[in-house]
Structure formats: C-alpha cells, structure tokens
Amino acid sequence: MLALARHLLLELYDVDPARLEDVDGLERALRGAADAARCTIVGMVQHRYAPHGASLVLLVAESHLSIHTWPEHRYAAVDMFTCGTTTLPEAGMRAMIAALQPGRHELTDVPRGILQGENA
C-alpha cells in the first residue's frame, strides 16, 4: 500500500487565550512549523472572527497548514497536509506545540490517498 499524502491533525487544549487571538503570532507559528517541516511556503490567508478567534491557512508547495482558534475555550485545531517524501510533518507539529504551549495536546496521523495493487 502507498499513501499519496499525510494529514496530521493536532488538537491543542488549555492554550493561553492571548496566544490564540494574536494573528501575527499565529502566522509566525505556522511559518515556523512549515520551515521545521521542510515545506516551501507559497502564500497565506487569514481571517479574524468577532468577537473571538481566527483562522489562518498557509499554502505550501507540498499542500497546506492551517489553524483555527477558539480563545474562549482555550482550544485550537491545527492541520498539516503534506504530499511527497521530503517533508517532516512531525517536526512541524512539534514547532506548533512549542509556539503555542498547550497544557495538553493530541496528534493524529491520517494517511491519505491510499493506493493498492496496480495503482501503488
């Protein structure tokens, strides 16, 4: 079996709400994670919600990284979707954990595009 991509899902709990409202800090964290994962940055889109929270998506040549925050719940959801074999997505997620300093976290690794047989 061959997976075309990996999709890492990071749940961050008990995060300082000020970190989750700081869009500039969140952008630095995503860019740092992309660098740690050896991804090539292509572009960034961000949106701040009222009264709380933000969503940021960092487009990389290998796919994307994103974060969605709920400061009022001290929670953030981070995704890192990477294709190919040259990236280090776990290193990128470690960088996100270090930047946001959650009280606890959960990481799930989902293989995407699993090919079998002749297509593998």
51 upstream amide cis, omega within 30 of 0: yes
What is the number of alpha carbons within 13 Å of residue 85 lying toward its C-beta? 2
Distances (CA, A) of 10 to 16, 25, 120: 16, 18, 28
Residues marked as catalytic: 63, 68, 83
CA distances from 69 to 5, 55, 75, 85, 103 (A): 25, 7, 6, 29, 15
The answer to whether the CB of 100 falls within 8 A of the CB of 36 is no
